[in-house]
Structure 1
Amino acid sequence: MKRRPLEPLLWNAWAALVVIAVGLAFWIPGLLRTGGRFPVPLDDVYIHFAFARSAALGHPFAWLPENGYSSGGTSLTYPLVLAPAWLLGLRGERLAPFAAVLACACLLDLCRSVRALLEGAPRLARWIAPPLLLGVPLLDWSYASGMETALYAAILGRCLLAVRRAGTSPPERRASAQLTAGIWAALLVATRPETAAFAGPLAVVVAYEARSLGAVASLARALGPTAALLAAQAAANRLLTSEIGQAGAIRKLVGTNPYLTPIDAAIEVIKNLTALRAQAFDIALGGAPWSGAIFLLVLAAIVAKRTRPLALPLGLGALGALLLVSLNTTARYQNFRYAAPSLAMLLVAAALGAGELMRRGRAGLGVGLGLSLVTAIAPGRQFPRQIDHFARASANIEGQQAEVARRLARRSPRPRRVFLNDAGAIPYLSGLPALDGLGLGGYHDLPFARASVHGIPAVVELIERMPEGERPDLMAIYPSWWPELARSFGRKIDEVRIEDNVICGAPDKVIYEADWSSLEAGDKPRAGAVDAIDVADLVDERAHGYAFPRPAAGWVIGAILRDEAGKMRFDAGRIVPEGRAEELTVADRIPSGPATLALRTDGGGPVAIRVEILRGDRVIFARDLELPARDESAWFEASVAVPDAAGGDRVRVTAVRSAWRSFHAWILRP
């Protein structure tokens, strides 16, 4: 009987040893800091766990089953991989150790994929691959965190193998192999959306190596699954949430902030790129000049004809993903976790470059080995810092978010729904229904993510739309983030404070009893109103084609003032600076005829506005109004008689002198 070679078995043991050692280096100090609870250094990990729980309960792609479909899950695949473990009993905190085991399995799979890609290279190239791939502590932090990064790495390796197989398969199998490569690329994008920048170049490589098969058909097979995934996701988002984009993109991308000027947005992107380059691609890789070793290896892989078809897409994908995440306003926070996909791609390309150099005789072997050792060892100086940060961050999450969850779970009577300005540990560990004010968790088709970008009063406007029996009765928030919300709608009943905060939004997480009594019932129309727009209610604004002056204007504001009946009522609005205008469209159902336009504002000094009615491109009515100084404790209403108003007309209100603070508008008829 032929004996199996011993080297593959020893290599697998070596790779497993490296993977487990790296994981334990983070998890053991984390366990010591958390008092024995498995360390989770990011609250976002629990968002994935909540999506996994919902999937196990038969509600895939829902943060909480009772809230409906949510586009806030940044990874579509990871919760689905976790869901069977939850279903089998690894629930609550017990899902975290399973995620750690899964991470080890995924990283070992990545190492095995890279070993297969290095087939034909000197044995030394294969043996140095595991420490090279896992030698960057910043990336290892993310691998050990419980996030989807390790799963992404495993799929990356499988995707590269599939692409190579597509280029080497015989003609009768090549089309199938191309489609398989396309499916792996789609899975990669479904795991980390910014890797769409990698899927395109990879598909071009598949088409380029199609040989006897048509390039266009090959490109369709390689890129089609990713395109279909993105199209299906956009369609589901539009149908179920009223938005095409993902909630995370709406909440976090620079381009979705309506107040930023192009210069402000460019500055924010430059700040992100500068921080990412310095922290994730210089210091994290060992600092100059040592950090240059990885780029020399990547360059060697791109130059070599044998490895170029994989190395070039990896390099372009790493760059493209980095540019995409630089559009994320949180890119330079949470320990630069958004740089992880780019780092992983570069390290795989570096391993290919090392293997290619080591093929080139004794000199190449020496250069390849030297650069590989520098790439694997130089970042190691950061291990103590990254391990300490991991442990402290885990203690923060355990001491604050998990503790708040336990306190809420013990409350009697059981809370109806808790309002949060984060969507992680608190709802998952407490098992309570929740509403995420940032919008990442979603709530049916109400645009909470976009409202949170416009301003907190816009979020409250959406709470006003909720049935009164579903509005949160508790809030667990950072009051330093949203002080006005806490003051206006909450009564403090508990608080959890942590010391040495390195990862939470603030040291203090405060629990409030919520009071929404100043909100309208939501379905109570004003007498005589045939049309109305609640300014800063994004649903109403969309229905009326409302346009506020942007950028650097139209800021959302809110107030609780006395109405005409003497009751304290909340309303949100926008500031229209002097010389600028807001516009809205009268609902199509409104028949032509005379009407009164009523405009709500708050108290303050004198202001002059111009009211115009536009029908098509023609102004059919215009009048200037002088508003006197007004009582600052009560709402004020300005009225103007309009001889004719009809559905489809545009109403323009211009701030002629001083800023106009616009809260509500009605078209009234007897």
Structure 2
Amino acid sequence: MTNREGTRFRWSADIVAWLILCVSLGGVSVLYLSLGLVTSESALIMPLDDTYIHFQYARQMAQGDPYVYNPGDEPSSGATSFLYTPLLAIGYWLGFDGLRLGYWAAVIGAVCFLLSGWLIYRLALRAVAAPYRTQRVTATLLMLAFVISGPMIWAAYSGMETLLMVLATLLALYAYSKDDRRGAGLAAAGAALVRPEGAVIAITMAFALLWRSPRRLLWPGVALATIAVQPLVNLMVTGSLSASGNQAKSHLYNVTIPFTERLEQIWDSWWRLWRELLSGSAPVDGHYIPVVVVMLGLVAVGFGIYDSWRRRDVVPALLAGSWLLLISIGIATLETAFWHFKRYQIPLMALMFPLGGWTLLRLSVGWWRWLGPGLAAGALIVSAGTTLEYARRYRDNVYVVQNQQIAMARWVAANLPAEARIGVHDVGVMRYVGNRATYDLVGLTTDKVATAWRQGSGTIYDTMYHHEHRPDYFAIYHDIQSLPLLAAVGVFGEELQRFTVQLPENTVASATGTQIVSRAFWPDDAIEPVLEGIPGTWTLHEVFDVGDIAAEDRYGYHWWQDGLFDGFATIVRRLPLATCMADECLMTDGQRRITGGEEWTLPDAGDADYYLVVLRAHAESPAYLFLGCDAIRSTKVVPQRPGLWVEIPFLLPAEAGRFCLKTDQIYHPATYTVYTGDYPAIEPPEAVIARLVDPVAAGRISLVDVSTAMTDAEVAVSVQWFSQGDLTQDGKVFLHLYDHPDEPPLRQIDVWPQDDTLPPANWLPGYMTEVYRLSLDGLPPGTYPVALGMFEPNTGKRYTVVRGDGRQTDRLFVGEVQID
């Protein structure tokens, strides 16, 4: 064959491949988009709510308000793709507004899909200098296997940036394979602007270009510099380098579990990713990529390692292999790594096709020349099996979005006030179609909320309750993650409408089949702590609601765990105060679950000498609390009173600066109320009736006075206690009435002082007067001795009673009851 004939053949073969690409892409596009249009019965509906997050940011950008999700709100960085939003905004500006923006997104997806398919064909042919006819057939079949792959078609017409990332990845590899430094640098920079994991492509591309030409710095520098663009814009616009999507989705930001456990989760995700990729199938995704393509792609990487070592160069196969490894690690850091039919993994899957082509074209010579077309045809058959399956999934997910998210958004638009703010989990459609301001509980689009979502219902509630954009209504799932706990305390209020759809198999558009629209219920139930009996004059300074992320930031709050537990790190509760059991004393608040400790900065005390800090906590389980991180200043006790809020006072000097609390158990802080004032000097009693010595640390409580009064119905024992405020143990008072002192009591009570809420360790320096009562109902005539004492409730051991004359016992007889 002459050179002219060879050139004419190459051109004709390329034209045939291009026609095959266009026809096949056109066919699958018509299939998927027709199913979408028929199912939506209106404009083209995208199969994911997340798509409409991009649409809303694009609408705002087109209207001159970039990075703002709700007009008038603070900027946020919920659109993770820096480049995709402006591309959508162009379409909105051109007239593709409302749901019509879906057509523009489909055009972007189709163009990226078309060019990606062509790049796979061209990349495969780069394996040999002058490909034979059978090698061109192999490249064409692999291109076709890519184009009719169900996951690829789904990704192209999902309205997301996935195929744009595929195009940037393949274009970078193609330019590098041609030794086009400018093209490679620009394509790698584009990848870094499309997705955060594109930074891997930019960094490795810069390294490879510098390896080949260390002194030519321009295009490697462009690739590296582009990595900083999105973080710097985020910093300037939102005050944070990280996009809120990373904060809401990354294992690394899940501060509720130890860092080592987060690394284990990342390892598990990474291993699962490769295990499924090597098998070509997954439980949710079914058969999603031909195994032969993956295996051949990894063989190409192996060849690339050998060729790079032999040539002392970074060959394209090695560069692509580094992308497979490093990007897969980056994806594994996401809790959403396997969502939406592996949309984050699609670029890795796309890379396997040209890599597999390099292996086949390299091996398909001589007697093996038909190996390439044969294996490529097998891959094509496997891909064809996914085309109709994913077409069904595309239709089903469009159906779910149409009949749940779109239907709910239209109802909200028609029935709720225009100025209403809606609390949501699926934030895309509600904002874009419902045209109502939203509060995003997940935190993708509402600034500084993602941290609250990661930590459970307590931080979700507290952060939302104090937020300036607190929602008036909810349009939300009520039965996923920690949202049932919000429903249990009544936050979702009066249900106005319910949207239920029967979820088809393998639906990814909706978390569950039901979402509700309800009126928000925000109880105004803030109750100040009870300071009765605390000496001194105190002024309320500040209230620090633990769990409100904004407040925690203001106070420099830091918490840590020394032990593990099941469930969420915070929980919202609606409970009564232990000192007030009436309905008006019910309080809704979030509680943290602390197994290590917490510390925060105290506000300026001004001219006061002391802080009085009152902790309100759920008394779910007993715990010892140690004030002070460097040295223990005092020890406090959480009494075990499940289902009640208890209050624990702490006295600190004005120069304390930081409040630091540790535990070796678990406790559940909700709120700190800070007072400032002066604590008077307390004179100890000159004489006491007895001293009670705790059985562990030998702390002493003085019994200063005791008196007994009786009516027909009860006996009342009035007791005055004195404490130096240095007790460290739990203790309950018991009052017994006996028939005989050596027999079990006929009547008894066991209580903590101060309305059954204040163990001795929690007493501040000073005096406390208590009255304990026993019922006399049903007792026959007789004389009944009455004894008083104290015991440690967790062990049952009694305090030692040391009488004034020095005698020791485990109880003090305080009088007799005479019944005639």
TM range (shorter): 0.7 to 0.9
Aligned mates of 2:59, 2:361 — CA distance in 1: 42
Residue among 426, 429, 433 paired with 2:430: 426
Q: 1:601 aligns with which of 580, 600, 617?
A: 617
For residues 331 and 518 of structure 2, what CA distance do their matches in structure 1 show? 35
**Contact kept in structure 2, 1:461 and 1:536, CA below 8 Å:** yes
Shift of 1:299: 4.7
Alpha-carbon distance between aligned partners in 2 of 1:366 and 1:302, rounded to the nearest angstrom: 26
- C-alpha contact (below 8 Å) 1:419/1:475 kept by paired residues: yes
Residues 125 and 208 (structure 1), Cα distance of their counterparts in 2 relative to 1, 3 Å cut: farther
One-letter amino acid matched to 1:148: E
Q: Distance in 2 between matches of 1:484 and 1:438?
A: 15
Distance 1:411 1:472, change over 3 A: same
Distance in 1 (CA, whole Å) between partners of 2:668 and 2:571 is 9
User: Could you say what secondary structure the match of 1:67 adopts?
Assistant: coil
Distance 1:223 1:407 in 2: 52
CA displacement at 1:253 relative to structure 2: 1.5
What is the CA distance between 1:411 and its match in structure 2?
1.2
Q: Does 1:247 align with 2:244?
A: yes
Name the Cα RMSD after superposition: 3.3
The yes-or-no answer on 1:82 pairing with 2:98 is no
Query: Which letter does structure 1 place at the counterpart of 2:205?
Result: L
Q: Residue by residue, what CA displacement relative to the aligned partner does 1:221-257 show, whole Å, maximum 9, x if unpaired?
A: 4443454344343344345444432212111112222
Note closer, same or farther for the CA distance 1:242–1:541 as it changes in structure 2 (3 Å cut).
Answer: farther
CA distance in structure 1 between the partners assigned to 2:590 and 2:503 by the alignment: 37
Distance 2:437 2:321 in 1: 43
Bigger mean CA offset, 368-377 vs 297-306: 297-306
CA distance 1:575–1:276, shift in 2 (3 Å): same
What's the CA shift for 1:90? 1.2
Q: Check conservation: 2:485, 2:572, Cα contact below 8 A.
A: no
Say whether the 8 Å CA contact 1:609–1:625 is kept in structure 2.
yes
CA distance in 2, matches of 1:184, 1:591: 63
Partner of 1:524: none
Aligned counterparts, 1:18-57, within 5 A? 18-35=24-41, 37-57=43-63
2:411 aligns with 407
Measure how far apart 1:344 and its partner are.
1.5
In structure 1, the partner of 2:649 is: 639
SS in 2 for 1:338: coil
- Among the aligned pairs, what percent are the same residue? 22
CA contact (8 A) 2:154 2:390 kept: yes
Gaps of 5+ in 1: 169-176, 522-526
The code of the aligned residue for 1:23 comes to: S
Q: Deviations over 1:46-97 (max 9, x none)?
A: 1111121111111223333433322221211112111111122212221112
User: Any conservation in 1 of the 2:145–2:384 contact (CA below 8 Å)?
Assistant: no
Q: 1:150 to 1:74 in 2, by over 3 A?
A: same
Letter in 2 for 1:668: Y
Q: What residue number does 1:542 align with?
A: 553
Q: TM-score, with normalisation over the residues of structure 1?
A: 0.85
- Structure with the largest fraction of strand: 2
The answer to whether the Cα contact below 8 Å between 1:571 and 1:663 also exists between their aligned partners in 2 is yes
Q: Give the match for residue 173 of structure 1.
A: none
> Aligned equivalents of 2:330 and 2:452: distance in 1?
23
Tell me: CA distance 1:108–1:476, structure 2 relative to 1, closer, same or farther (3 Å).
same
Shift of 1:598: 1.6
**Residue number in structure 1 paired with 2:199:** 196
Q: 1: distance between equivalents of 2:477 and 2:650?
A: 43
Show the counterpart of 1:334.
340
Which residue of structure 1 lines up, in the alignment, with residue 533 of structure 2?
A: none
Is the alpha carbon distance of 1:575 and 1:6 closer, same or farther for their aligned partners in structure 2, counting shifts above 3 Å? closer
Per-residue deviation, 1:639: 1.3
Q: How many residues align structurally?
A: 629
Correspondences of 1:498-577 after superposition (within 5 Å): 498-501=501-504, 502-503=507-508, 504-518=510-524, 528-530=539-541, 532-550=543-561, 552=564, 555-561=569-575, 566=584, 568-577=586-595
Which residue among 369, 383, 387 is the counterpart of 1:379?
383
Q: CA deviation at 1:416?
A: 1.3
Equivalent residue for 1:259? Answer: 256
Q: Which amino acid aligns with 2:475?
A: A
How do 1:454-473 residues align onto structure 2 when only pairs under 5 Å count? 454-467=455-468, 470-473=469-472
Letter in 2 for 1:397: V
- C-alpha separation between the residues in 1 aligned to 2:598 and 2:154? 48
> What is the rounded CA distance, in whole Å, between the counterparts of 2:639 and 2:362 in structure 1?
79
Alignment of 1:136 onto 2:140: no
2:270 matches 1:273? yes
Distance 1:350 1:567 in 2: 69
Bigger share in helix: 1
Aligned counterparts of 1:365 and 1:22: Cα–Cα separation in 2: 30
Distance across 1 between alignment mates of 2:102 and 2:625: 58
After superposition, the Cα gap between the structure-2 partners of 1:24 and 1:302, relative to the gap in structure 1 and judged at 3 Å, is farther
Q: Select the structure of larger CA radius of gyration.
A: 2
SS of residue paired to 1:145:
coil
Cα distance in 2, alignment partners of residues 183 and 294 from structure 1: 25
Equivalent residue for 2:20? 14
1:142-162, CA deviations, whole angstroms, 9 ceiling, x for partnerless residues?
Answer: 222221112222223332344
> For residues 556-610 of structure 1, what are the alpha-carbon distances to aligned partners after superposition, in whole Å with 9 as ceiling and x for unaligned?
1223345799465432221223xx3222233478678322222112355654433
1:121 to 125, 131, 153: 131
Bigger RCO of structures 1 and 2 (CA < 8 A, at least 6 apart): 1
Instruction: Say if 1:280 and 1:336, in contact at 8 Å, map to a contact too.
Output: no
Matched, 1:496 2:513: no
One-letter identity of the residue aligned with 1:319? L
Corresponding position of 2:315: 309
Question: What does residue 660 of structure 2 align with?
Answer: 652
Change (3 A) 1:126 1:335: closer
> Which string of whole-angstrom CA distances, capped at 9 and with x for unpartnered residues, describes residues 152-180 of structure 1?
22223332344345x35xxxxxxxx44x5
- Separation of aligned partners in 2, 1:76 and 1:534: 36
Instruction: For residue 61 of structure 1, give the secondary structure of its aligned residue in structure 2.
Output: coil
Q: 1:248 to 1:520 in 2, by over 3 A?
A: farther
Q: Per-residue deviation at 1:475?
A: 0.4
Distance in 2 separating the partners of 1:591 and 1:362 = 94
Find the residue that maps to 1:576 and give its secondary structure.
coil
